[in-house]
């Protein structure tokens, strides 16, 4: 067993360890301390230099070396100059149990790097959701991490990161491993049309349903009949004034399924419904603006919403390509489908029906509540009671209200340089990540930190590149971890 460091001082929240010469510890790396029969896991959250030589002498010696005077051998002395790592306790492993660390390890204890066998007592859950492999620093332990998808998905998954750090790659990997599973239906609102081509390579692609304004072979046309729309589907899509909302509800009550067709047809004697003559034309104009002509139609598309809902509740994965729609039309399609899923979930309490999760990119658009509260905020707050969750992806976590963020119970945090964003994520995480800000800033492409109310501690992850993952499909691997 190779020791990489030794406890030299510190306190419970910051144990200082001297790094062994020749070994290199990394931020985020997990170390194991076998102390007095206890197995403690620690994580590196800071690194600094230590030296026995006085600072002035070091500066003097450095100056001499820089100016070309004689070699300063004592500066290379590995005994007197070293690296100190600050460690925080992650967990104590007792048999097959994981508990919080309440006592310090023995003074001068040695530490070694984490190995796959340290976590081998953990078993694969029944409804396995693959999220990546355990990472030790920047090294993959080749030990897959699975969560119980049936529990985790209705409690929402949040994926924050700066652009290009691998959010879409992670979602592709998760969806690819979920595709054959019948315990969950997934609705993907895909503004970049990037998921269908990736997932259609799966051997179980019969479980995949694709809608687009320009569907490729095997896809369906994204056409939604006006009669599927309700006034509340417009909530959070764009701001409507109170009189406009009242007008929408009055006209819906009067014309039911026909309310949108009637408004657009200029046939309505709106004054009869107490609607102001200034309000009505504005409402008409705004509806025309948001109702993209190639998607929302007067004839055809009557069954789309019911088809999507029934596919989701039979465990299929439905991808809606919204890449050619304006922001508002896209949100309306999303809001309409999410509302329909949510109301079906509320009325269907059979215990074994699939849970449904909705993937939403640039989540603050619907969770920031800037245009009023949307169905997505309602799902974030109470979806878990009805087995409906979100997989919310964003670069800007700070735009989502704290209360909503706190409800997103599993966070898969990828790299983020922006301190303000890290702060929003850390302050709403399931575990205490207050010392992990530097670690999150230093995460490279595909490196992540999993913080979940369903995991015993925050687990460092490395996510495989989708192209490699889909070739090897490591979701079938025997090695497991929860």
Residues 415 to 474: which contact ligand ATP by CB under 6 A?
445-446, 463, 465
Residue 382: CB atoms within 10 Å: 13
| List 160, 166, 301, 364, residue binding ligand ATP (CB under 6 A) | 166
445 binds, among Mg ion, ligand ATP, none (CB under 5 to 8 A by kind): ligand ATP
Which range, of 14-22, 168-176, 400-408, 417-425, touches Mg ion by CB under 5 A?
168-176
Give the CA dihedral 372, 378, 379, 385, nearest 10 degrees.
Answer: 180
The least distance separating ligand ATP from the CB of residue 166, rounded to whole angstroms, comes to 3
Taking the C-alpha atoms of residue 416 and residue 395, their distance in angstroms, rounded to an integer, is 8
Residue 38: CB atoms within 10 Å: 15
The least distance separating ligand ATP from the CB of residue 346, rounded to whole angstroms, comes to 32
* Residue 168 contacts Mg ion per CB under 5 A: yes
The least distance separating ligand ATP from the CB of residue 171, rounded to whole angstroms, comes to 8
Closest Cα partner for 83 from 108, 54, 56, 51?
51
The least distance separating ligand ATP from the CB of residue 443, rounded to whole angstroms, comes to 11
Three-state SS for 208-257 is: EEEEECCCCCCCEECCEEHHHCCHHHHCCCCCCCHHHHHHHHHHHHHHHH
Residues 463, 131: contact at Cβ < 8 Å?
Answer: yes
Which range, of 49-57, 166-174, 365-373, 418-426, touches ligand ATP by CB under 6 A?
166-174
| List 127, 135, 155, 165, residue binding ligand ATP (CB under 6 A) | 165
Taking the C-alpha atoms of residue 378 and residue 346, their distance in angstroms, rounded to an integer, is 12
Question: Residue 236 region, left (φ>0) first, then alpha (ψ -120 to 50), else beta?
Answer: left
* Residue with smaller CB distance to ligand ATP, 139 or 223: 139
Q: In terms of DSSP bridges, do strands 208-212 and 317-321 run parallel, antiparallel, or are they unpaired? A: parallel
Residues 30 to 69: which contact ligand ATP by CB under 6 A?
none
The least distance separating ligand ATP from the CB of residue 413, rounded to whole angstroms, comes to 12
How many chain residues bind Mg ion (CB under 5 A)? 2
Which range, of 152-160, 161-169, 413-421, 471-479, touches Mg ion by CB under 5 A?
161-169
Which range, of 167-175, 324-332, 365-373, 418-426, touches ligand ATP by CB under 6 A?
167-175
Which range, of 28-36, 164-172, 340-348, 452-460, touches ligand ATP by CB under 6 A?
164-172
The least distance separating Mg ion from the CB of residue 411, rounded to whole angstroms, comes to 17
The least distance separating Mg ion from the CB of residue 359, rounded to whole angstroms, comes to 11
Closest Cα partner for 379 from 390, 366, 368?
390
177 binds, among ligand ATP, Mg ion, none (CB under 5 to 8 A by kind): none
The least distance separating Mg ion from the CB of residue 168, rounded to whole angstroms, comes to 3
* Residue with smaller CB distance to ligand ATP, 305 or 463: 463
Residues that bind Mg ion (CB under 5 A): 167-168
Residues that bind ligand ATP (CB under 6 A): 161, 163-169, 395, 445-446, 463, 465
């Amino acid at each position: 067993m190779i020791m990489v460091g030794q406890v030299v001082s510190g306190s419970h929240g910051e144990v200082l360890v001297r790094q062994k010469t020749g070994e290199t510890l990394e931020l985020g790396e997990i170390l194991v301390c076998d102390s007095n029969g206890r197995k403690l896991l620690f994580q590196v959250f800071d690194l600094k230099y230590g030296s026995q030589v006085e600072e002035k002498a070091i500066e003097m010696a450095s100056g001499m070396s820089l100016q070309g005077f004689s070699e300063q051998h004592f500066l290379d002395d590995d005994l007197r100059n070293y690296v100190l790592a600050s460690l925080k306790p992650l967990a104590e492993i007792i048999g097959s149990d994981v508990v919080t660390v309440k006592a310090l390890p023995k003074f001068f204890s040695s530490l070694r790097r984490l190995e796959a066998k340290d976590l081998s007592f953990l078993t694969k859950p029944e409804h396995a959701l693959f999220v990546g492999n355990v990472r030790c620093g920047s090294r993959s332990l080749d030990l897959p991490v699975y969560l119980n998808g049936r529990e985790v998905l209705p409690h929402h998954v949040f994926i924050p990161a700066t652009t290009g750090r691998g959010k879409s790659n992670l979602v592709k990997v998760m969806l690819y491993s979920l595709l054959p599973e019948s315990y969950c239906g997934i609705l993907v609102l895909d503004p970049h049309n990037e998921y269908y081509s990736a997932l259609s390579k799966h051997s179980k692609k019969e479980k995949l349903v694709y809608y687009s304004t320009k569907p490729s072979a095997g896809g369906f046309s994204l056409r939604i009949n006006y009669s599927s729309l309700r006034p509340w589907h417009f909530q959070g899509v764009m701001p409507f004034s109170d009189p406009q909302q009242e007008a929408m509800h009055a006209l819906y009550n009067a014309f039911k399924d026909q309310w949108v067709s009637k408004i657009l047809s200029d046939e309505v004697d709106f004054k009869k419904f107490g609607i102001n003559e200034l309000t009505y034309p504005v409402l008409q104009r705004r509806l025309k603006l948001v109702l993209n002509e190639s998607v929302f139609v007067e004839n055809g598309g009557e069954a789309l919403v019911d088809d999507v809902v029934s596919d989701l509740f039979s465990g299929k994965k439905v991808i809606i390509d919204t890449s050619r729609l304006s922001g508002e039309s896209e949100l309306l399609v999303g809001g309409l489908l999410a509302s329909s899923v949510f109301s079906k979930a509320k009325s269907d309490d059979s215990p074994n029906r699939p849970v449904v999760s909705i993937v939403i990119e640039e989540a603050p658009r619907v969770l920031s509540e800037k245009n009023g509260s949307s169905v997505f905020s309602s799902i974030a707050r109470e979806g878990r009671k009805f087995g409906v969750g979100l997989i919310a992806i964003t670069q800007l976590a700070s735009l989502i209200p704290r209360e909503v963020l706190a409800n997103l119970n599993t966070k898969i945090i990828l790299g983020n340089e922006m301190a303000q964003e890290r702060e929003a994520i850390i302050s709403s995480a399931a575990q205490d990540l207050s010392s992990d800000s530097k670690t999150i800033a230093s995460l490279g492409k595909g490196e992540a930190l999993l913080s979940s109310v369903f995991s015993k501690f925050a687990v460092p992850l490395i996510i495989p590149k989708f192209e490699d993952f889909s070739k090897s499909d490591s979701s079938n691997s025997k090695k497991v971890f929860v």
